[in-house]
Amino acid sequence: MSDPIISRGFFGRRRDAGPPGRVPPGQYVTHDFPVLSAGPTPRSPQEHWSFEVRGAVASTRRWTWAEFRALPRVEVTVDIHCVTKWSKLDTRWAGVSVDTLLSDVAPAGEYVVAFCDGGYTTNLPLSDLTGGKAWVVDTYAGEPLEAQHGGPARLLVPHLYFWKSAKWVRGLEITMSDDPGFWEAAGYHGRGDPWREQRYRGD
Amino acid sequence: MNTLVLDVPGWPGHHAGQHVDVRLTAEDGYQAQRSYSIASAPATAHLELTVERLDDGEVSPYLTDVVRESDVFELRGPIGGYFVWLPHLRRPLALIAGGSGVVPLMAMLRHRAAVRVAAEVAPARLLYSARSADERIYNAELERLASEDEDLRVAYALTRTQPSGWTGYRRRIDRAMLQDVIWPADAAPLIYVCGPTAMVEVVATELVELGHPAPAIRTERFGPSGKP
């Protein structure tokens, strides 16, 4: 990286830098939980909700809301990092590990597109969703996940920028190629690793 | 509020609605980055950013209180490929602003006005919500644009205090106001909503209830949600 330009007279408040090593470069810590969606909030009634794993798999798997809720559940506490620069530490979620959803699936592709109510999509390598790195969560801070924050259920992939943690998720499509999702097609980075500050295409 | 007029050598151009990331570096290497919407239309000589000073802000107080002419800082952009308006889009253009959310919408109106000199553009309506008359920005310019263009209408909602003799709206944007100001769903407008997240959520939800399809409603939200 070339020498940054020093901003004459800038000192900064330095209250938002967070504990050393916890906060990726360019981020500040917030105690709020901002909402940043590109359109209106979808509202999905539970009786019509389902979650699918489909695409390059031997057979499609599908769960109704009741079936999803009956799967083995976990609670996780993770830091989350939004590409718009805020990070939120120690967020508490509950839901189902993606490993559980993919067990017995035998995916034949190496990529995934998460698809959602309202048409949102995001793409990830399958390896970023497996091995205890991702969940489909329906509970935040002990309460049912609010619609604005992605309820009834969203993907949670905390090691990547939070746009990959797709709100209103309805399923995972296993794909053979890495197909850009909504923000990826709108100029954001394909992978989105906050520790390498992969915010925008070309980073 | 402060409008910064920037010389950006090598600026690749932008679309109305996009933003930039501004990065400040202190002498000891400490850095802070924040995003700001571009206020200027594409293809103008300088890039303009209008910055609202947040009392507890990290970057905005610097950009409104400290920065002076000939200062240099880093910016990155343009960023954002969804909340953009292009003049070839001929559907009626509905713009709904809360506070400093008017900035990217102003870039759209400035672009539209520039293009209108030589070509036809879509009709446009701006509904601009602010707490008081003094807190509106671009007031004189909006009045001028509206007076020169019968296909541009600007309506204000002043939510907290209104000057004596005020004939505009005196309350937060609600469904009835949207029905008065914004085209009905069968006119298929493109709608851009920008402002504090709570306001955007209310407006977007009401627009869906009024029958506008979700893909026609593009939102840009900022600020805290107010809940952890």
CB A163 within 8 A of CB A122: yes
Domain span at A178: 46-196
Measured between CB atoms, which of A13, A30, A187 is closest to B79?
Answer: A187
Question: Considering CB atoms only, which of B35, B73, B201 is closest to A84?
Answer: B35
Question: Given the structure tokens 């851009």, which residue do they identify?
Answer: B192
| Residue-averaged pLDDT of chain B | 95
In this model, does residue B38 exceed pLDDT 60? yes
DSSP designation for B133: G
Q: Is residue A20 part of a domain?
A: no
- Counting as low any pLDDT under 70, the low residues of chain A are 1-2
Q: How far is CA B112 from CA B15, B106, B120, B180, B211, in A?
A: 11, 10, 9, 23, 26
CATH number for the domain including A158? Answer: 3.90.420.10
Report angle CA A190, A194, A195 to the nearest 5 degrees: 120
Longest Cα–Cα distance of chain A, Å, equals: 62
Put simply, the answer to whether A186 touches B82 (Cβ < 8 Å) is yes
Decide if A161 is inside a domain: yes
**Scanning the structure block, which residue is given the tokens 């709570």?**
B198
According to the model, what pLDDT value does residue A19 have? Answer: 86
pLDDT tens column, B176-226? 999 999 999 999 999 999 999 999 999 999 999 999 999 999 999 988 888
Q: Is B221 helix (H, G, I), strand (E, B) or coil?
A: strand
- The answer, for B82 touching chain A at a CB cutoff of 8 Å, is yes
Residue A14 forms part of a structural domain: no
ipTM of this predicted complex?
0.90
* Residue B123, pLDDT above cutoff 90: yes
Residues 148-207 of B with CB under 8 A from A: 197, 201, 204-205, 207
The second-level CATH assignment, the architecture, of B93-222 is 3-Layer(aba) Sandwich (3.40)
Classified as helix, coil or strand, A152 is: coil
Q: Which CATH superfamily is domain B2-79 in?
A: Translation factors (2.40.30.10)
CB contact under 8 A, A16 and B58: yes
With respect to residue A13, please indicate whether it lies within any of the assigned structural domains.
no
Residues of B in Cβ contact (< 8 Å) with A11: 26, 30
Angle at B101 between CA B96 and CA B102, to 5 degrees: 65
| pLDDT number for residue A2 | 62
